[in-house]
Chain A
Amino acid sequence: MNMGESFPILTVVTFLPALGIVLLLLVDKNRQLLVRNVALFTSLVTFLVSLFLYFKFDPGTGDMQFVELYSWIPSLGMGYHMGIDGISLFLVLLTTFLTPIAIWSSYNAVTEKVKGFMISILALETGMIGVFVSLDLFLFYVFWEAMLIPMYFIIGVWGGPRRIYAAVKFILFTMTGSLLMLVAILALYFVNQSYTGVATFNLLDYQGIQIPFNYQIWMFLAFALAFAIKVPMWPLHTWLPDAHVEAPTAGSVLLAAVLLKMGAYGFLRFCFPLFPEATIHFIPLFSILAIIGIIYGAFVALVQKDVKSLVAYSSVSHLGFVMLGLFALNMQSLEGSILQMLSHGISTGALFLLVGMLYERRHTRLISDFGGISKVMPVFAAFFMIVTLSSIGLPGTNGFVGEFLILLGTFRENWLYAAFGATGIILAAVYMLWMYQRVMFGKVDKPENQKLKDLSLREKLILVPIVIVIFLIGIYPSAFTSRMEASVAKLMETVNEKYRVEEVMPQVQPRRDFQIDESQLEVSTHSFGGGEIHRGQ
């Protein structure tokens, strides 16, 4: 783990977009093309730098790599601690890969306040990468919250007709969850302090302590609420369709591809290793919510009239899969979930891009306004087909591998969950193909649709890398899974080991000699949620 003296690559990747903001501030806002190019250039450089992470990554270890650790507020134990493992590596890459695409896709779509838009996107990128690389809870929380604001502006300023409602709903939902998580983080700090006597917010230090079960329950719930809102899990998903539909294309892409992954990532990085007992306690609840999400999302997607909200509800369904895989808690399902997170990011991101391209031409997204588009825009139809199939999970595309692994893993734990989950795949095929058929085939009966232009060179160049990645994951998944394996194994080990220890000796006493505030533990014990859930003490 001692890589302190080497090049601080994570800091560079995280703050390169922020540097781009500084550059943008120096550019005159009326030179729109220059503003766009500077933003695109910054994000491309970020992507190239982040590729080093992939090649330098050591797949042999589950430990954190590229670690940077400096003290930040030493008096209270906050540190500047960054590092990635096989779980976060691909999420960082996903972010850096999709941001330039999102920026490039908005060259024609965003024509007002271009500078502000680009600044928001770059700020969002810094926030998103920061969330995935921070290993200090304080730092993590800083990025987690800071990221909301650019997204709020992206939806609110450049969004559709109901943008204000969507933006406010987005920020109220996510803030509520994350502030309760803050309470849990603070509580964790003191629990850790009472056990080890060290004041720290370092995540890796927290993993070493055995938190009593009644604490775990409440902290797990507080963290899980924040993450479940972000995922979003049914029934906390209602902000998502609004935000997706109203956000501009680039915003929808990043929202679907990256922001939603933060919730699932949070479960993996925080809930599971810190609160293993509570995690296992809550498996049935979260699995069932995930299944409801899968089926509910699929059915609601089926009846949508608007392509964009169809894709939004399909996200609810797909992320239900991710959650189902996470809570099956075995190697296959976890790897499948991580892979599915990537695939969903890629294919849903691509779907939003395609819908956006269609919207730019026709200024409508209603399925009924289209029909026979494949005759007018054959190249577009081809891309759309590939992405649709990948979203359904056709073998050979990215969607298949993840879903397959998830179902395989879930089946081993509970065949009933797997069976219900599998219906989601069938429904996905139904709603996606039905939508495709209505939009692409049939007669061109609307006069407006007859003279639609096919994709421009820029649009093709945006979609080609995505298609490459779709097939890359589909055909050669081990390029991805090989780098995850060690980290996932380590996570499993942490969860299982701690769980076993917990089972054998549930009453590990805190080390009182290090306790700073003598009265603190007693006070916390009986005010923690009224102390209803005491377990055999």
Chain B
Amino acid sequence: MNLTLIIPEIFLFLWALLILFVDFFTAEEKKHRLGPLSLVGIVITVVLVVFSGQGQAFGEMFSADYYSLSFAIIFLGSAFLAICTSIDFARERIKHQGEYYALILLSTVGMMFLAASRELLSMYVSLELTTISLFVLSAYLKTDLKSSEAGLKYMILGAASSAILLYGISLLYGITGTTVLKGIQAELVGSAFPGPLLVISLVFIIAGFSFKLAAVPFHMWAPDVYEGAPTPITAYLSVASKGAGLAAMVRVFFGSLLPVTSEWIPLFMALATMTMVLGNIVAIRQSNIKRMLAYSSIAQVGYILVALSAASELATTSMILYLLVYMFANIGAFAVVIAFYNHSGTDEICEYAGLSRRSPFLAISLVIFFLSLVGIPPLAGFVGKYLLFLAAIQKGYYWLVGVAVLTSVISLFYYMNVVRQMYFRKPTKNDPVKVSWSLRLALVLSLIGVIAVGVYPDPFVSLISKAASVFVY
């Protein structure tokens, strides 16, 4: 057994405990310093992840490979950005800051384990570690009605989806007699004809994961939870928890269910279509920017599902790259929303009128993030979408790409609605919006990410294509 492989996870876990410990001895007015302290822990973990070796541990359960590496970097990156955006928010509005940061770190540990696990039991346990921490975080504003409501809804639907997923897993285990993904694949290759039980189990597994990803029609929790949860947590939820769901889903489907693609590809195509269409259309009429971003993030999942139904090496590459790109753009957009909220206490889109005069930096950043989400070159989102569509067209899914393309045009409409408010309308107030150092750091890092991946994607693509080659297609 090779314990050195899980040093990064162990370290991050201990760091979370350290935060709790330090929190105990810190005076209330100094607790905001726990934020930078957690950032330090994340940076060290990134270094550990990059330099710890590759291999397997705990039998088949845990595998440190390029796949888990790229996801771990995405999770740690989004935790880093989310904590950056949290520091002012938490100081002003949150009690028990120590637990807040520790829970973020713990859920990140869960996600890292999730991306690395190649066995259903360890996958399930890591998934629960992730989501239970997030239940608490989304209800963290204790006296805020919306936040506790978000917590309840997230908890009920999250637990229900876990139960559904678990039921599917139990059937899969019954069919193949093993919970190791490789073993499942070997069993399925042998079986001549997939029985109805397999179909039922696939449906349950897909439904369970779709809840985690907020794919239509399993998306109904997402807008409420995103609107109610503390905004930095919304940012984190919309990227990292989706990423975790995706990491597990791709592992399960590409790592074990490729022999029966004909059973699940049509389901994903249907999910992708519904998600893109509904997410984009409903986003148009939102007046709250968090809710709009919630629907936009639902729609973004639709694009990822397009690639998931392509089931090829290019598809995996494109999904991971897209997630990376989406992380920068989405957390960046949320950072602007948080900066604006910290200043003005509102999330209504109409309050953004004339932001280009009040704070040109925030306004232009938000424009860049939105354009990246739409997929306008030369920003990162374009490269991401380009690869997704490439993967789908490789398999000849022209109509699916057609839907994706047309819904992208729709998405332009609601993103541009915010841009319109910021640039084409006159401001109602004239005070400049102050941006603290931590938010500025998050914004600048996201901007660099969005532009760097867009202009020179080659190193990212080649690293991620190594991750994609862990599966045999």
A189 touches B398 (CB 8 A): no
> Bound state CA distance, A172 and B406, in angstroms?
10
> Bound state CA distance, A183 and B409, in angstroms?
13
A172 touches B376 (CB 8 A): no
- A408 touches B (CB below 8 Å): no
B413 touches A183 (CB 8 A): no
Shortest beta-carbon distance from B90 to chain A in Å: 33
A141 touches B405 (CB 8 A): no
A146 touches B461 (CB 8 A): no
0 or 1 for each of B299-315: is its CB under 8 Å from A? (1 = yes) = 00000000000001000
Q: Which of A85-93, A98-106, A458-466, A522-530 contacts B (4 or more CB under 8 A)?
A: A522-530
- B465 touches A (CB below 8 Å): yes
A529 touches B398 (CB 8 A): yes
Which among B378, B389, B395, B420 is the interface contact of A523 at CB below 8 angstroms? B395
Given contacts A76-B387, A171-B412, A180-B402, are A145 and B382 in contact (CB under 8 A)? yes
- Determine which residue in B393, B399, B420 has the highest number of CB atoms from chain A within 10 A of its CB, and name it: B393
Q: Which of B433-473 contact A (CB under 8 A)?
A: 456-458, 461-462, 465
> Bound state CA distance, A120 and B393, in angstroms?
34
Q: Tell me if A's interface is mostly helix, strand, loop or mixed.
A: helix
> Bound state CA distance, A526 and B398, in angstroms?
10
B377 touches A145 (CB 8 A): yes
- A73 touches B (CB below 8 Å): yes
A75 touches B458 (CB 8 A): yes
Shortest beta-carbon distance from A239 to chain B in Å: 13
0 or 1 for each of A450-481: is its CB under 8 Å from B? (1 = yes) = 00000000000000000000000000000000
Note all chain B residues with C-beta closer than 8 A to A168: 413, 416, 420
B406 touches A179 (CB 8 A): yes
Given contacts A76-B387, A190-B393, are A183 and B398 in contact (CB under 8 A)? yes
> Bound state CA distance, A145 and B406, in angstroms?
15
Residue of A nearest to B464 (CB): A75
> Bound state CA distance, A145 and B416, in angstroms?
15
Which among A74, A172, A180 is the interface contact of B458 at CB below 8 angstroms? A74
Q: Which of A35-43, A149-157, A389-397 contacts B (4 or more CB under 8 A)?
A: A149-157
- A175 touches B (CB below 8 Å): yes
Note all chain B residues with C-beta closer than 8 A to A523: 395-396
- B423 touches A (CB below 8 Å): yes
B377 touches A142 (CB 8 A): yes
A176 touches B413 (CB 8 A): no
A520 touches B394 (CB 8 A): yes
Note all chain A residues with C-beta closer than 8 A to B382: 142, 145
- A72 touches B (CB below 8 Å): yes
A146 touches B394 (CB 8 A): no
0 or 1 for each of B400-425: is its CB under 8 Å from A? (1 = yes) = 01100110110011001000100110
Given contacts A157-B424, A190-B393, are A527 and B416 in contact (CB under 8 A)? no
Note all chain B residues with C-beta closer than 8 A to A146: 376-378
> Bound state CA distance, A488 and B371, in angstroms?
37
Q: Which of A173-198 contact B (CB under 8 A)?
A: 175-176, 179-180, 182-183, 186-187, 189-190
Note all chain B residues with C-beta closer than 8 A to A163: 424
> Bound state CA distance, A517 and B393, in angstroms?
12
Note all chain B residues with C-beta closer than 8 A to A405: none
Shortest beta-carbon distance from B469 to chain A in Å: 12
B396 touches A183 (CB 8 A): no
A187 touches B461 (CB 8 A): no
Given contacts A183-B405, A186-B390, A189-B390, are A520 and B412 in contact (CB under 8 A)? no
- A148 touches B (CB below 8 Å): yes
Note all chain B residues with C-beta closer than 8 A to A186: 386, 389-390, 393, 401
- A288 touches B (CB below 8 Å): no
Number of interface residues of B (CB under 8 A): 35
Shortest beta-carbon distance from A17 to chain B in Å: 15
Shortest beta-carbon distance from B404 to chain A in Å: 9
Number of interface residues of A (CB under 8 A): 42
Q: Which of B350-378 contact A (CB under 8 A)?
A: 371, 376-378
0 or 1 for each of B108-134: is its CB under 8 Å from A? (1 = yes) = 000000000000000000000000000
- A429 touches B (CB below 8 Å): no
Note all chain B residues with C-beta closer than 8 A to A143: 377
> Bound state CA distance, A289 and B173, in angstroms?
62
> Bound state CA distance, A142 and B456, in angstroms?
13
Shortest beta-carbon distance from A123 to chain B in Å: 11
- A377 touches B (CB below 8 Å): no
Note all chain A residues with C-beta closer than 8 A to B401: 183, 186
Note all chain A residues with C-beta closer than 8 A to B396: 520, 523-528
- B397 touches A (CB below 8 Å): yes
Note all chain B residues with C-beta closer than 8 A to A180: 402, 405
- A300 touches B (CB below 8 Å): no
Q: Which of B86-121 contact A (CB under 8 A)?
A: none
Note all chain B residues with C-beta closer than 8 A to A172: 409, 412-413
Note all chain B residues with C-beta closer than 8 A to A528: 396, 398
> Bound state CA distance, A76 and B456, in angstroms?
13
> Bound state CA distance, A172 and B312, in angstroms?
32
Q: Which of A102-161 contact B (CB under 8 A)?
A: 138, 141-143, 145-146, 148-149, 152-153, 156-157
0 or 1 for each of A300-321: is its CB under 8 Å from B? (1 = yes) = 0000000000000000000000
B395 touches A520 (CB 8 A): yes
Given contacts A164-B420, A168-B413, are A75 and B465 in contact (CB under 8 A)? yes
Note all chain B residues with C-beta closer than 8 A to A138: 386
Which among A164, A171, A182 is the interface contact of B405 at CB below 8 angstroms? A182
B398 touches A175 (CB 8 A): no
Instruction: Name the 8 nearest CB pairs between A and B, nearest first.
Output: A523-B396, A142-B377, A179-B405, A524-B396, A527-B396, A186-B393, A73-B458, A145-B377
A-B pairs with beta carbons under 8 Å apart, 7 shown = A73-B458, A142-B377, A149-B376, A175-B412, A183-B401, A189-B393, A190-B394
On A, residues with C-beta under 8 Å from B are 72-76, 138, 141-143, 145-146, 148-149, 152-153, 156-157, 163-164, 167-168, 171-172, 175-176, 179-180, 182-183, 186-187, 189-190, 517, 520, 523-529
Using A75-B465, A183-B405, A527-B399 as known contacts, list a sample of 11 further A-B pairs with CB atoms less than 8 Å apart, ordered by residue number in A.
A72-B456, A138-B386, A141-B377, A142-B378, A149-B371, A168-B420, A175-B409, A180-B402, A189-B393, A520-B395, A527-B397
